[in-house]
Amino acid sequence: MGNTTEEEHFDVLTETGQKTGFSKARGLVHKDGDYHRAVHVWIFAESTQQLLLQQRAVCKDAWPGLWDISSAGHISAGDASLITASVTNNGNFINNEFDDVYLESEVSAVKYISIEEYKQAVVKEDPQYVPVNVDGQYGQLFDIINKRYQCDVEARSLDLQKKLNRYAPFSLSAELTGLTEGDKEALVLLIHAARMMDDIFHQQVWCSNPSLREWLKGRASMSQFDNLKWLYYSINKSPWSSLDENEAFLTTADSAIKLLPEATKPIGGWKGLEYKTAFPIQKPPGLSDDEKQDASGFFSVVRRHRDFLSNNIVSSASDLYSIPYSQEYSAFLAKTAELLHKAGDLTSSPSLKRLLHSKADAFLSNDYYDSDIAWIELDSKVDVTIGPYETYEDVLFGYKATFEAFVGVRDDKATDQVKLFGDHLQVLEQNLPLDAVYKSSEVISAPIRVVQLVYNSGDVKGPQTVAFNLPNDERIVNDRGTSMVMLKNEQRELVDFDSFFTHTICHECCHGIGPHTITLPNDQKSTVRLELQELHSALEEAKADIGLLPESLVKSMYVSFLAGCFRSVRFGLEEAHGKGQALQFNWLFEKGAFVLHPDETFSVDFDKIEDAVESLSRVILTTQAKGDKEAAQELLAKYCVMTNPLKVALEKLEMVQVPVDITPEFPIVDELLGKK
Ligand SMILES: C[C@H](N)C(=O)N[C@@H](C)C(=O)Nc1ccc2ccccc2c1
Ligand SMILES: [Mg+2]
């Protein structure tokens, strides 16, 4: 269906559509009136029930200037109709996918039209439209599309509902009575500031996310299917389902109308066989040495000059360049900074004041150092973590931080109770199963703050965290250590909450010990993150989980640990925590420390567990200390897999329909914002 210089040949067919074995030039076939085959592609946007029509070029020999079905053309001699139609889709006639479309010179324009409106136009023989016999077989396509659409909607609605059922809504409340009036006012501003993190995060995950979000939200009340799409999108903050290895749960057709203007752009310097492939004229140059350090930092976006040049010819030495977040997200960050400054003026707590003003400045300058120190030293009733922190979303290298916010109120009593843990990190480091040469003698004790969560946003799409250890920036870890925040709303009714809480504290403490900044075999200084790249997060999470287990614990802790493995693996093997837990489970199972019984129950072999835990901890910590990416790759490739015992456990959990995660609800936010 593309342009060719030589005249095309078509297979000549019999009256009943069989190939005669002869082919003839296009002009001759039409002149002699030979039977031949053409193919029509109907592009149908399910979300709006619209068809994409093309306006035929005025120079066409048949129906010039009229509106015609999405794409149509003759089949070249020897080709099959499906190949000509470029429709794969298991041989179905309707292709719901939109790829990059290069408009051919034979098309003047395209437009979307509701399928019903199009049908009426052709029934009434509207002269603007290419005539179609709606009474014949061709007309049945309208019914087929409608039926298919209905079936598809039902099946997809059921699927989305099933996906949503894996989340249990959970209402979180916090005690605000101890707050001063100034702090209460500051809290409201902080909630507004936190909401800005959501806007930035959506854009960070995918550049078309803001339009998709607006589109889905706008349609949410139009049908139950639209509502389900919106609900599930709101959890995942993207069209990819995090509990399903990031498989897409929306098709491009679900939002094609909205995205189309951004999805097409003229490409200058485009070369290649038309309609088959496209590639830039010049081979893209790499990143210069100077730019590498900048580009591998936490707080910048890496872009190609080419994407913004219409001629596609790059004049500078490198096509790649980095832009600081302060510039990339300037509109959002300027507003957030204003809110933080106002909140900083209102609060009576000096440390919160310092944090809010320094964080506001960091949003504008892109230098987060002082604000992160202020965050570690925060000692205030209102507790806030806001800014670019975690790197889980950067699946390429694990370098880039995404924006998040946790706004809460400190639980003073619980904070006092856990202080002991953070004060003894040096002792923990000394006891790590790791060669002494790799151990640090300067681990800084880490404050732990127990906080009742009032609101979270941004990169909090799940798994919903119960605690975090920050900052991740190794400059600060070296100079000032880290701090931990434990989220603990009123959850006393939960079974064995204390064991889980203790395990969580251990987990966060472990992030503070072990290798961070390392010396490579060539004596160069580096960090575990820079060396292990996309493998770092999973290994770091596994280290944090297993790190405090070797020192003979009470038996119940090992059993809780086994149960915890199943909990996290359900987050999926694409996700750092799920991956880390699969590694631990499969290692311990291989060493006989976890046992699967014929009745499909599991138990811990207490004679084997200590050695197994110690050997895995040693392997992980040594791999980190050496910055050995190859070893990390081998370890993860072998153990981060869905083995049979894991499958058995997950299928049992599936059967009893235990939720995988929660979706937090914050009624207190509505109260604070006066929306009761
Ligand atoms: C190390 C990161 N900076 C970080 O703090 N990440 C958190 C989102 C996190 O991994 N939290 C977390 C808390 C408790 C856990 C308990 C058991 C398994 C995993 C946990 C992860
Ligand atoms: Mg962790």
545 CA to centre of ligand 2 in angstroms: 8
DSSP H or E segment with residue 28: helix 26-32
For ligand 1, mutation pick of 418, 464, 504 (most atoms within 8 Å of CB): 504
Distance in angstroms (rounded) separating the CA atoms of residues 503 and 411: 19
Identify which ligand lies nearest to the alpha carbon of 565: 1
Q: CATH 3.90.79.10 in the chain: give the residue spans.
A: 37-148
One-letter amino acid for residue 124 of the chain: K
603 CA to centre of ligand 1 in angstroms: 25
Neighbours of 109 (CB within 10 A): 11
SS3 letters across 578-608 = HHHHHHHHHHHHHCCCEEECCCCCEEECCCC
Distance in angstroms (rounded) separating the CA atoms of residues 235 and 646: 26
Distance in angstroms (rounded) separating the CA atoms of residues 245 and 579: 11
Distance in angstroms (rounded) separating the CA atoms of residues 560 and 63: 73
Neighbours of 9 (CB within 10 A): 18
Q: What angle do CA 186, 192, 197 make, to 5 degrees?
A: 125
Per DSSP, the residues of 187-247 read HHHHHHHHHHHHHHHHHHH-TTHHHHHHHHHHHTTT-HHHHHHHHHHHHHTSSEEGGGTTE
8-state DSSP, 57: P
455 CA to centre of ligand 2 in angstroms: 20
Beta sheet of 467-470, edge-to-edge order: 382-388, 403-410, 448-458, 483-487, 467-470
Rounded to two decimals, the ipTM of the complex is: 0.90
Q: Of 412, 423, 420, 357, whose CA–CA distance to 379 is shortest?
A: 412
120 CA to centre of ligand 2 in angstroms: 59
Identify which ligand lies nearest to the alpha carbon of 473: 1
Distance in angstroms (rounded) separating the CA atoms of residues 318 and 302: 12
Ligand 1 atom 1: the closest Cα is on which residue? 469
212 CA to centre of ligand 1 in angstroms: 29
- Three-state SS at 309: coil
- Residue 389 alpha carbon, nearest atom of ligand 1: 3
pTM recorded for the entire structure: 0.77
Predicted pLDDT at 91 = 34
Buried residues in 550-578 as b, exposed as e (16+ CB within 10 A): beebeeebbbbbbebbbbbbbbbbbbbbb
Predicted pLDDT at 666 = 96
Q: Of 594, 630, 573, 669, whose CA–CA distance to 244 is shortest?
A: 573
Identify which ligand lies nearest to the alpha carbon of 569: 1
Ligand 1 atom 18: the closest Cα is on which residue? 545
Distance in angstroms (rounded) separating the CA atoms of residues 190 and 336: 9
- Three-state SS at 148: helix
Per DSSP, the residues of 639-676 read HSS--HHHHHHHHHHHHTT--SEEEEE-HHHHHHTT--
For ligand 1, mutation pick of 487, 508, 570 (most atoms within 8 Å of CB): 508
Q: Which residues line ligand 1 (CB under 6 A)?
A: 390, 465-470, 472, 504, 507, 511, 541, 545, 568, 577
What is 151-206+257-311+319-429+445-490's CATH topology? Fructose-1,6-Bisphosphatase; Chain A, domain 1 (3.30.540)
Residues near ion ligand 2 (CB < 5 Å) are 541, 544
pLDDT, tens digit, 9 for 90 and up, residues 203-232:
999 887 888 899 899 999 999 999 999 999
Residues of the chain under the 70 pLDDT cut: 1-6, 80-107, 252-253, 255-288, 290, 306-319, 490-497, 548-554, 675-676
| Residue 399 to residues 78, 360, 389, 529, 536, Cα–Cα distance (Å) | 51, 23, 10, 7, 10
Widest pairwise Cα distance in the chain: 94
Q: CATH 3.30.540.30 in the chain: give the residue spans.
A: 151-206+257-311+319-429+445-490
DSSP H or E segment with residue 169: strand 167-171
What CATH number was assigned to the domain covering residues 37-148? 3.90.79.10
